[in-house]
Amino acid sequence: MHLDNSHPIVGELQRLLPEGVVAGGSFSSWLPSPGSLPRTERAHRLAQVQKTATEQCLRDLLDAAGLGNGPVPPREPDGQRGWPPGYVGSVSHKNTLVLATLAKASNLASIGIDVERIEPSDERLGHILTPEERRPRGFSQLQSLALTFSAKEAVFKAQFPTTGRTLSFEDVFIHWNDPNGSSIRGVARCGSAHPLEVRCTLSAKWVVCVALENAFDFRTSSS
């Protein structure tokens, strides 16, 4: 079975991240009609199929990176993926969409990606902003909250492999630049850790964000 990589967010992620290879897509065709399942089984079935789709996505990612003979990056006890030596990567999924990226560690010291679907109830996410933090300009309230949420989730993922820290929303402060159409960039600061670059884009009801640290910046600030 193949993932449907014509989902627009796959291309958006590749545009956000020219330094890396991207794989993923929709696996909605792999699922039966939800109406054919009892209520109590729907979430379980989605999770089961999502796991299979994630493995397929990771195989596609390794192929795209020219590492097709390698094993699927396993989940380590701390929840992190065991990426091939010399590479950094990240995975994100939302309902029937799965995305993954891989980049050479000589280019990027760390990377985290996050995909979200904008929902009306996201208006209850106001608490994820620190008191002094501004929302990204040029977007609706709902979009700006979803963007901030997704960006911080990407930051959580990007910083963990290098710091080992589990962060909360108030631990991350994002300074947003002005938007460029439906895309926006910013800088995320989380305590004493190195600042991370944040790149996000909106596509219809979807948000995808990348947080990364360039290997050059990492080496400079670590020396």
Residue numbers of the site for another protein (CB under 8 A)? 26, 28, 31, 33-35, 39, 42-44, 46-47, 79, 94-97, 116-117, 121-122, 124-125, 127-128, 149, 153, 166-169, 205
User: How many CA atoms lie less than 13 Å away from 153 in the CB half-sphere?
Assistant: 19
Task: Extract the tokens encoding 7.
Answer: 């989902």
The minimum distance between CB 109 and another protein, in angstroms, equals: 21
Which of 42/189 has CB closer to another protein? 42
Query: Which of residues 41 and 219 has its CB atom nearest to another protein in the complex?
Result: 41
- Count CB atoms within 10 A of the CB of residue 103: 24
b/e for 59-95, b at 16 or more Cβ within 10 A?
bbbbebbebeebeebeeeeeebbebbeebbbbbbbbe
CB of 39 to another protein, least distance (A): 6
Cβ nearer to another protein, comparing 97 with 215: 97
Which residue, 61 or 128, is less far from another protein as judged by CB? Answer: 128
CB of 107 to another protein, least distance (A): 26
Q: Which residues pair with 198 in a beta bridge?
A: 186, 211
Q: How far is the CB of 45 from another protein (least distance, A)?
A: 9
Q: How far apart are CA 9 and CA 150, in angstroms?
A: 14
